[in-house]
Amino acid sequence: MKELLYTIVAGLVDHPDMITITQDEPNEEGTIVFHLHVADEDMGRVIGKQGRIAKAIRVIMRSTASRNGLESIAVEIGE
């Protein structure tokens, strides 16, 4: 899942070497949280107008997780 998130985001940003992704252990509800950090100047490219790109990234990640039998995941985008 981390590789998929990295591949999606690397195609959007100017500085793919600045991408860091951390993954939390599943919480009590079984949700796995991915924390995505990109360069400050790439933040707008990842979020998009009105958050549309961020929403699309989250949809892709959730649908892939359900196909792979994972309960639920969340993607948090930060600086």
Q: Would you call 38 exposed, middle or buried from its count of C-beta atoms within 10 A (0-12, 13-18, 19+)? A: buried
Mean pLDDT score of the chain: 93
pLDDT at position 64 is: 93
* 3-state SS class at 11: coil
User: Does 79 have pLDDT greater than 70?
Assistant: no
Q: What is the pLDDT of residues 54-77, one digit of tens each?
A: 999 999 999 999 998 888 899 999
CATH number of 2-78, picked from 3.30.300.20, 3.30.70.920, 3.40.190.10, 3.20.20.80: 3.30.300.20
Bridge partners of 37?
A: 20, 78
Q: How far apart are CA 31 and CA 70, in angstroms?
A: 9
* 3-state SS class at 69: coil
Where in the chain are the domains? 2-78
Helix spans in the chain (H): 2-10, 43-47, 52-67
Q: What is the pLDDT of residues 25-37, one digit of tens each?
A: 988 888 999 999 9
